[in-house]
């Protein structure tokens, strides 16, 4: 007869606590599955196999322990029903395999995928979000069924209370959790019936954010400013982005001379690989004339030229992030020098194109210029810059 129970192991940790484990006994043989939690001797009820009321959040913690035992019993019952081996050795293998199904095991797989595909920017933002969720859950051994809508709501409150994050930042944390959960469902290691997202549960809705671009006068001010060499380079990158319909900085830095043919620029946007060509404006030609054709990678701008291998996407993304940060610092300094009080970054070049295009360009053409996959995305984005109807409505009352 198999025996399954929670026990306190006697190997004391440095902080004075003792680790908890599930002890499985069959035919006088035993093995332990550690739960990733530890408690003090004074907080442990040896006879009841649970923590005492003196332990913080004792009820919730004991429920978690009871669920761990129930999951273990379910695994044993499943194997007995299928006439599978239930020996200590077989159950050890089964429980080790089950650990692969934990949230943070899948999170590690997710981060490894980002690393291997060169998505360093996404990794650098998502890894801390995963770590904050781990700190909140206080365990590495969290099953997907434990991540309920109620738990996620408490996590959002926790983030706002302890880190004073914005609504947008809180939603970004939930997006990462949802992505990992979906990955686990696809891999067959999580059950969709426990999925905490969707109607009546946790819905992902991004709060509206202000998108402010420069005015035409501010762009002219930037174009005509007398700047140092380093500042001029930052300005050039910004203007190239603006002149080519808000090209993303990662695409600007990867531009090659071979991308320019017959007075047109041919390139595919790195984010979604949408391709196309644009006529090179005269203003852009004057900027390109400032840069020599003298680096091994045929790059227009020198920012990535010192990298030995541009096929190593992770290294390229790291360098792009570093150069963008440096460029944004210079743009901030330029804005202060010119009396521009709007936030001045490389991404603002995209907002500036949207602001100045307003409702002057047909939405289908804007979709092509922005390289959006869906026209709905274009409509939503451009809606941030079209104010005429709202202004006229307001004026009809006030004026």
Looking at residue 27, its pLDDT comes to 84
Q: Is the pLDDT of residue 146 over 70?
A: yes
Looking at residue 378, its pLDDT comes to 63
Looking at residue 271, its pLDDT comes to 60
Place of tokens 């979604």: 272
Looking at residue 76, its pLDDT comes to 81
Q: pLDDT-derived band of residue 356, with 50, 70 and 90 as boundaries?
A: confident
Looking at residue 100, its pLDDT comes to 60
Looking at residue 278, its pLDDT comes to 85
Q: pLDDT-derived band of residue 345, with 50, 70 and 90 as boundaries?
A: very high
Looking at residue 155, its pLDDT comes to 96
Please, are residues 378 and 271 in contact by the beta-carbon 8 Å criterion? no
Q: Is the pLDDT of residue 184 over 70?
A: yes
The CA distance from 374 to 372, in Å, is: 6
Average model confidence (pLDDT) across the chain: 86
By percentage, how much of the chain surpasses pLDDT 90? 48
- How large is the average pLDDT for residues 93-102? 67
Looking at residue 380, its pLDDT comes to 64
Looking at residue 328, its pLDDT comes to 95
Q: pLDDT-derived band of residue 91, with 50, 70 and 90 as boundaries?
A: confident
The tens digit of pLDDT for each residue in 154-166 reads: 999 999 999 998 9
- How large is the average pLDDT for residues 187-210? 85
By percentage, how much of the chain surpasses pLDDT 70? 87
Phi/psi for 280 (5° steps) reads -85, 115
CATH top-level class of 216-393: mainly alpha
Looking at residue 332, its pLDDT comes to 95
Q: b/e map of 28-48 (b: 16 or more CB within 10 Å)?
A: eeeeebebbbbbbeebbeeee
The tens digit of pLDDT for each residue in 2-24 reads: 888 999 998 888 889 999 988 88
Q: When comparing pLDDT for 56 and 365, which is higher?
A: 56
Q: pLDDT-derived band of residue 270, with 50, 70 and 90 as boundaries?
A: low
- Residues in contact with 217: Cβ distance below 8 Å, sequence separation at least 6, in sequence order: none
Q: pLDDT-derived band of residue 384, with 50, 70 and 90 as boundaries?
A: low
For residue 166, CA distances in Å to 56, 153, 196, 309, 391 come to: 28, 15, 22, 39, 29
Domain boundaries, the chain: 3-98, 103-194, 216-393
- How large is the average pLDDT for residues 199-205? 90
For residue 13, CA distances in Å to 38, 70, 270 come to: 8, 27, 49
The tens digit of pLDDT for each residue in 212-238 reads: 888 899 999 999 999 999 999 999 999
Q: Is the pLDDT of residue 74 over 90?
A: no
Looking at residue 97, its pLDDT comes to 58
Written in H, E and C, the secondary structure of the chain is: CCEEEEEECCCCCCCCCEEEEEEEEECCEEEEEEEEEEECHHHEECCCCEECCCCCCHHHHHHHHHHHHHHHHHHHHHHHHCCCCCCHHHHHHHHHHHHCCCHHHHHHHHHHHHHHCCCHHHHHHHHHHHHHHHHHHCCCCCCHHHCCHHHHHHHHHHHHHHHCCCHHHHHHHHHHHHHHHHHHHHCCCCCHHHCCECCCCECCCCCCCCCCCCCHHHHHHHHHCCCCHHHHHHHHHHHHHHHCCCCCHHHHHCCEHHHEECCEEEEECCCCCCEEEEECCHHHHHHHCCCCCCCCCCECCHHHCCCCCCCCHHHHHHHHHHHHHHHHHHHHHHHHHHCCCCCCCCCHHHHHHHHHHCCCCCHHHHHHHHCCCCHHHHHHHHCCCCCHHHHHHHHHHHC
> Best-predicted range by mean pLDDT among 64-78, 322-336, 358-372?
322-336
Looking at residue 377, its pLDDT comes to 65
Tokens read off for 103: 């949230």
The tens digit of pLDDT for each residue in 285-344 reads: 999 999 998 878 999 999 999 999 998 888 998 999 999 999 999 999 999 999 999 989
Phi/psi for 241 (5° steps) reads -60, -45
Q: Is the pLDDT of residue 396 over 70?
A: no
């Amino acid at each position: 007869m198999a025996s399954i129970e929670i026990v306190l192991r006697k190997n004391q940790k440095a902080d004075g606590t003792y680790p908890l484990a599930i002890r499985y006994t069959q035919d006088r043989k035993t093995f332990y599955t550690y739960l990733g939690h530890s408690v003090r001797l004074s907080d442990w009820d040896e006879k009841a196999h649970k923590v005492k009321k003196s332990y913080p959040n004792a009820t919730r913690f004991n429920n978690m322990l009871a669920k761990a035992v129930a999951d273990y019993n379910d695994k044993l019952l499943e194997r007995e029903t299928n006439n599978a081996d239930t020996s200590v050795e077989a159950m050890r293998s089964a429980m080790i395999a089950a650990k692969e199904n934990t949230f943070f095991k899948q999170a590690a797989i997710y981060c490894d995928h980002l690393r291997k595909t060169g998505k360093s920017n996404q990794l650098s933002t998502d890894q801390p979000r995963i770590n904050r969720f781990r700190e909140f859950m206080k365990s590495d051994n969290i099953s997907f069924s434990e991540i309920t809508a109620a738990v996620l709501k408490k996590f959002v409150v926790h983030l706002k209370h302890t880190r004073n994050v914005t609504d947008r930042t809180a939603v970004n944390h939930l997006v990462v959790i949802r992505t990992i959960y979906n990955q686990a469902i696809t891999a067959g290691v999580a059950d969709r019936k426990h999925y905490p997202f969707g109607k009546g549960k946790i819905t992902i809705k991004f709060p509206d954010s202000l998108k402010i671009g420069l005015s035409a006068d501010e762009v002219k001010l930037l174009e005509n400013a007398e700047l140092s060499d380093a500042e001029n380079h930052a300005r050039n990158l910004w203007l190239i982005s603006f002149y080519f319909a808000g090209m993303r900085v990662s695409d600007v830095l990867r531009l090659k001379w071979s991308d320019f043919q017959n007075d047109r620029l041919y390139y595919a946007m790195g984010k979604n690989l949408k391709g196309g060509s644009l006529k090179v404006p005269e203003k852009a030609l004057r900027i390109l004339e400032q840069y020599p054709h003298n680096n091994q990678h045929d790059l227009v701008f020198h920012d990535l030229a010192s990298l030995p291998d541009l096929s190593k996407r992770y290294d390229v993304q790291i360098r792009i992030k570093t150069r963008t940060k440096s460029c944004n610092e210079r743009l901030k300094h330029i804005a202060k020098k010119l009396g521009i009080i709007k936030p001045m970054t490389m991404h603002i070049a995209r907002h500036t194109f949207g602001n100045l295009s307003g409702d002057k360009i047909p939405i289908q053409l804007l979709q092509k210029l922005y390289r959006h996959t869906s026209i709905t995305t274009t409509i939503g984005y451009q809606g941030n810059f079209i104010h005429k109807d709202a202004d006229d409505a307001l004026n009809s009352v006030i004026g």
